[in-house]
Amino acid sequence: MFASRIATIRQHISPLFLSARSSNNDVESLEKLGIRIEPSVRRALSEGLPVVALESTIISHGMPYPQNLSTAKDVENIVRQNGATPASIAILNGVPCIGLTEKELEYLAQCRTKAAKTARRDIAQVIAKGATGATTVSATMFFAAKAGIHVFVTGGIGGVHRLGESTLDISSDLTELGRTPVLVVCAGVKSILDIPRTLEYLETQGVTVVGYGTEEFPAFFTSKSGSKAPCRADSPEECAAIAETNLKLDLQSGILIGVPIPEQHAAAAELVEAAIQEALQETIEKNIQGNAVTPYLLKRVNELTGGGSLASNIELIKNNARVGAQISVALQEKLRRP
């Protein structure tokens, strides 16, 4: 009896992310914390409309200028064309921003690596110093959940690095997925990482991992990884149903949707793998460590593949944006039902 009454009370006072609609008071409380919400994002949240969070390290660290800016604009437009409001997230001069203007996107694109690469661990010090930070997956998930944004689109998540069993180099993206109830749409785990160990770690964290239209978990540049996805969903509605259930049960963990890159844009797996192995050896020889490893590997693999990996990167991000927006629309429709 007591447990039942507690459950009933919790339904009435459930936190922001369990609601299909964020009240003006919720949004205002975030702004009192110093978090700035762009007007179109604020309006969409207040009216219970679909919103898709986007990270900013793709803009600053993921690719060169001006491709980074044009890709960021294209991704936002794809989200809009599919019925959702884009909310690119970054910290600008110490102010966390949920939703960026076109000028702010251009500023980040030109800053590139001058912007601090900001994971969850870095948020407090970047804000305290009044610095500019481009948010990674973990930091973007944190701010998205704060604002009641249920869906986040990125290129690929971090994971367990190759040789991670000895270096213990494991991305904070994985632990964030284990504790933050946001659905993350990606092209799988970057193939520069250890995919089987990453999936094992996600299982340990209690993260629901879904192959979108596939039995096999995708490997970023290519649709095949050799690792089976724990479950499969074939439509935005199926993904939305999983997310709705996750929210209603208050599981407090994220959902990872692995969307294979369209075959016509996939790089040849053998070429990418050979480039990865060469670039990995270079990181050892040059003693490149920590959060500098992934940007170096992505840049070097792109050079070694003659630009093929960058072209694939851009196309997979656009494809993810389309799928993510469709999932966001389907999820909001479910959450609005009585």
- CA dihedral (268, 273, 276, 280) in degrees, to 10, reads 180
Task: Assess contact for 198 and 327: CB atoms under 8 A.
Answer: no
Q: Name which of 22, 2, 283 is nearest 149 in CA terms.
A: 22
DSSP label at residue 260: P
> Which pair of structure tokens corresponds to residue 335?
């959450």
Cα 136 from chain centre:
8
> Which pair of structure tokens corresponds to residue 135?
């948010």
Residue 47 to residues 50, 87, 218, 256, Cα–Cα distance (Å) = 9, 15, 35, 26
Q: Is 237 a catalytic residue?
A: no
Q: Which DSSP string do the residues of 11-47 spell out, in sequence order?
A: HHS--GGGSSS--HHHHHHHHHTT-EE-HHHHHHHHT
Q: Where are the alpha helices (DSSP H) in 148-224?
A: 164-167, 172-179, 195-204
Which residue among the candidates 55, 76, 176, 244 is catalytic per the annotation? 55
Cα 141 from chain centre:
7
Q: Is 334 a catalytic residue?
A: no
Which residue among the candidates 117, 146, 190, 318 is catalytic per the annotation? 190
Q: Which residues are catalytic?
A: 55, 190
